[in-house]
Amino acid sequence: MVEQQNNKNEELFNEEELRQYLLDGDIERFRDIFFELHSYDQAQFYEKVGPDIRQTIYQFLSPQEMATIYETIELEDEEYEQFLKEMDTAYGAEMLSYMYTDDAVDVLNELDDEHRESYLEMMDSDIVDEINELLAYEEYTAGAIMTTEYVSVLENSTVRQAMNVLRKEAPNAETIYYVFVVDDAHRLSGVISLRDLIISDEDTLIRDIMNERVVHVKVTDDQEEVAQIMKDYNFLAIPVVDEYHEMQGIITVDDIIDVIDEEASDDYSKLAGLSDVDDKETSPIKAAKKRLPWLIMLLFLGMITATLMGQFQETLEKVALLALFIPLISGTSGNSGTQALAVAIRGIATGDIDEKSKMKMLLREVLTGLTMGIICGILVVVIIFFWKQSLEVGLLVGAAMGVSILVATIAGSFIPLLIHKLGADPAVASGPFITTLNDVTSILIYLGLATTFLGQLN
């Protein structure tokens, strides 16, 4: 605990010291301390300080040094444009030129067309060609997140020649742990690890020691599928090919971590009935603007529940006690439906649920819902009997509870599978939708049973 506190105090001291050097214009001392920090800490410091202090940072750091920060920094989408507008355009364009192509594309994608073009016009034509190539790919595909900075060697070259290529290309490559092997037409034919290159005889041909069974993805593959493949195989990088099997680039593990984080955030937003998760800096007006569309939609859906209850007004008037248990039944069934929904969406996202296992999962959820329904139903009968001294009402509420939980569990697991089968994102079968649906079905079941057995209740 003491060590952690000391580290925290040291961190705060460095921040204040760095701020003071910037305010004093002491470039030498600022650079000495700043470059002792990890690149992540550098990026955090840059993000925390205000625009005025950042102006001094642009004077103290070269565009190439700033590029390292922007390859590490994690800003909100709208902040990229805000921060870049603080820089001189020529400085920003040079900084983007020094960044890895995929990272530069990520930044440029957050800018409007006019702002983006102003940077591209100032950059070297070769770099612009590479950037435009990646910008042309559809968003959220392998092509859009891949990098073109990788090491490849010809299959008919020797280990000595491959090592010479590696030494030449390594400074600009995102990773050198995998060296990809191509034929004369630049088609992917194999992969060789850095370790195998080091321990092999220099005169050995690459094709004799390469691994020909290369797991790869296509430029059009969805980024979520790519993330799943890299997770399954524990890759540090994966090659990306086009329809002709020509090598186009690689996707590295750091990009996939960003994808996983992005997809998880997106799924969480949809499950919560949001278009996006609010950032802590989001204004109340913007937060309300994001949340209102779904909320209003669900408000109108909720009117179905109110209308449905109106159809059973006579039943409720005759046995007023029934109204007391409506929240209990609808709430419990909604919770069970949300649980089943979470299990189904997680299984689809991780690939645990495929075509063969769908029926098995549905059967398991039916049995699970039946078990939970019976137990909760019996528990409710006992509680109501001792609480209200009414076995008839207890049996009614218990039966409605059991059936509602069963139906909600089936709906929570079946709806995501159906939406996934139709080719849409199963996360849109969000918690609010399931809850609203279960409100309707649970009330229909409960008051329908009550109306049917109204004579016994009276």
In this predicted structure, what is the pLDDT of residue 88?
93
Q: How many CB atoms lie within 10 A of CB 241?
A: 20
In this predicted structure, what is the pLDDT of residue 438?
79
Assess if residue 351 is contained within a domain.
yes
Cβ-contact 441, 401 below 8 angstroms: no
Please tell me whether residues 219 and 292 are part of one structural domain. no
Would strands 178-182 and 152-154 be described as parallel, antiparallel, or unpaired? parallel
Angle between helices 391-421 and 358-388 (to 10 degrees): 160
In this predicted structure, what is the pLDDT of residue 140?
87
Question: CA angle at residue 272 from 267 to 276, to 5 degrees?
Answer: 60
Assess if residue 143 is contained within a domain.
no
Of 235, 268, 301, which residue is a domain's last? Answer: 268
In this predicted structure, what is the pLDDT of residue 262?
75
Of 81, 112, 136, which residue is a domain's last? Answer: 136
Which amino acid, one-letter code, is at 70? Y
How many angstroms separate the Cα of 92 from the Cα of each of 42, 120, 441?
A: 18, 10, 57
Please tell me whether residues 291 and 430 are part of one structural domain. yes
Assess if residue 278 is contained within a domain.
no
Cβ-contact 30, 60 below 8 angstroms: yes
User: Which residues have C-beta within 8 Å of that of residue 340, sequence separation ≥ 6?
Assistant: 365, 368, 369, 408, 409, 410, 411, 412, 413
In this predicted structure, what is the pLDDT of residue 2?
38
Supply the DSSP symbol for 138: P
Please tell me whether residues 261 and 231 are part of one structural domain. yes
Q: What is the pLDDT along the chain (458 residues), one digit of tens a residue?
A: 434 444 444 444 478 889 999 999 999 999 999 999 988 999 999 999 989 999 999 999 999 999 999 999 988 778 888 999 999 999 999 999 999 998 999 899 889 888 899 999 999 999 999 999 999 999 889 999 999 999 999 999 999 999 999 999 998 898 999 999 999 999 999 999 999 999 999 999 999 999 999 999 999 999 988 998 998 899 999 999 999 999 999 999 988 888 887 776 666 555 555 555 555 555 677 667 766 666 677 677 667 777 777 777 777 666 777 888 888 888 888 888 888 888 887 777 666 777 777 888 889 999 999 999 999 999 999 999 998 888 888 899 999 999 999 999 998 888 888 877 877 666 665 556 677 777 888 888 888 888 887 655 55
Question: CA angle at residue 185 from 180 to 186, to 5 degrees?
Answer: 25
Of 268, 296, 328, which residue is a domain's last? Answer: 268
Total domains in the chain come to: 3
CATH at 379: 1.10.357.20
Q: What is the CB-side half-sphere exposure of residue 97 using CA atoms within 13 A?
A: 18
Q: What is the CB-side half-sphere exposure of residue 456 using CA atoms within 13 A?
A: 12
Please tell me whether residues 303 and 434 are part of one structural domain. yes
Please tell me whether residues 358 and 389 are part of one structural domain. yes
In this predicted structure, what is the pLDDT of residue 388?
83
Supply the DSSP symbol for 277: P
Please tell me whether residues 255 and 333 are part of one structural domain. no
Q: How far is Cα 192 from Cα 302, in angstroms, rounded to an integer?
A: 59
Domain, as residue range, for 34 = 2-136
Please tell me whether residues 161 and 107 are part of one structural domain. no
Please tell me whether residues 318 and 440 are part of one structural domain. yes
In this predicted structure, what is the pLDDT of residue 119?
94
Q: What is the CB-side half-sphere exposure of residue 219 using CA atoms within 13 A?
A: 19
Assess if residue 219 is contained within a domain.
yes
Assess if residue 147 is contained within a domain.
no
Please tell me whether residues 253 and 288 are part of one structural domain. no
Please tell me whether residues 334 and 391 are part of one structural domain. yes
Please tell me whether residues 244 and 305 are part of one structural domain. no
**Which H/E stretch holds residue 270?**
helix 253-271
Angle between helices 51-60 and 2-24 (to 10 degrees): 80
Cβ-contact 256, 198 below 8 angstroms: no
Please tell me whether residues 88 and 118 are part of one structural domain. yes
